[in-house]
Structure formats: structure tokens, C-alpha cells
Structure 1
Amino acid sequence: MADQDTPSRRRRRDHSPKLKRALVRQCLQPGASVASIAMAHGINANLVFKWRREHRAAEAADSSTAQASTPLLLPITLASAPLSGTSRSMAQAPASITTRTSTDSIELDFAGARLRLRGAVDQESLLGSLTALRSLA
């Protein structure tokens, strides 16, 4: 009866950080099986999955910290204000213009965007569309 009164003292194993890093490194290899690596070392696979998850979270935190401290330089281009009316010169025309008279449509590739105008297109509608597109560029 004295054996029943004594609680069992089960102690968790304390794995070294070196062992954890080594196992996580093995698990991150292409084609590696986490379950087989864990079994080979006598460790529960769920524990190895947890170490791998913690490793990836730490890497993500490190990379986001590095990105936040590094300034990001973006290219800036200055464009003149959109022209109004019909004073538009050929030098300021879109990069490529494709006109299909058989289907009454106009297709413009301009500043990385494509504008398609179908049906009867008058000059005023075309200039309004180009002005709006130029303001986005």
C-alpha cells in the first residue's frame, strides 16, 4: 500500500539546443521524413515538428527585423501634367496603338496598362480616357 501513496516522479527529458538544431536541420532537407528522423533518435515526432515550427518562426522574425531596418529605395519618375484638348503632340503618344476598323475598336498599350475602346469612339472620349490613364501612370 505504501507504493500507491507515493506519486510517481516522471521527469521530462531536457534536450540540448545543439541536438534540436541538428534534428531541425535534418528535417529541413528535401525529402526528409520528420517521423523517421524522430524515431531514429527516440523522440516523439510531434516534438520535432514543434521544434521545426519554432525554428521557422524565429527565422521569419529575424528576416522581418532585418527588412524593417534596411531602407527600401524605390525608383521615382516625374511626369508632366496631362495635356488637355487637342494640343497633344506625337512625342507624347502612347507606346503602341492598334486600331481595328473592321470591329470599331481601339487598343492602346500605355505605361504598362492596356486600354480597349470598342464601338464608335469619338475624339473627346479618347482624350478623356488617355488623360485618366496618364494620371494613373
Structure 2
Amino acid sequence: MYIMKSEAEPRRRHHDRAFKAKLVEQSMQPGASASAVAREHGINANLLFTWRREHARAGTVARSAESAVLLPVRLAGPAEEMLAEQGAQESSGLAPATNRSSRPGVIELELAGAHLRLRGTVDEASLCSVLRALRQSA
């Protein structure tokens, strides 16, 4: 038995990186069909999906701004109170409060040879007058 060999052996096509990147970008556009993009360029859709995974792993796929999603945010606790207070002050034309912290803390300063320790909530006006007095005494 004799088997004839064809001169044209089937070979795999090799696509350059630019071609792959172009098709991946086209398939990632909003509303684009990866299968349709693959058909337009004469390749199997599974091959295009493989290229998309490879580009995603390599981090070379640029995400379009249109694909960004806004998520709802709900504030809870002290932040809600602070925003409500701020909104009320803005609507009434009052200056915003400078002391927004309701939790006591400690501030320690060493200035001009003096050691200053403030505990609890600190009023900004009082702190400024103490610092001015320390600066003048130095």
C-alpha cells in the first residue's frame, strides 16, 4: 500500500502580539461580541478567549472608562451625623465647626523648653491661644 503525501502540510498560524492585542482590545469594547470579532478575523473564538486570559494575566488589557461601575455607598454612624451637621451649616451660612472629633485623645508638645500635654477633646481656639503664649515666652 502506498500513501501519498501532500506537499502542503497543514501548519499552525502564528499571530504576532500586535494582532492579538488589537483583537483583544476590540473584543473588550462595550457591546462587542468576542465571537463576532473572532469570526471577522478568521480565527476560532476559543483562541480569542485564550488571548484575552493571557492579556488579563499579563495586565496588558486596558479597561475603558465606560466599563467603570459606580457603586452605592451608605454612610453609617458618626460620619452621617457629621455630614448632616455640615449640610445644615452650609445651608444656614454658618462657618463649619472646627472640632469634629467626639473621641477624647492626647496631644503632647515640647516647645520652647515647655512640655504641654492636652487630654480629652481640644478646642481649637484655646489651643491657638496657648501656643501663641508659648511662642511669645520663648
Q: Give yes or no for TM over 0.5.
A: no
User: TM-score by structure 1 length?
Assistant: 0.40
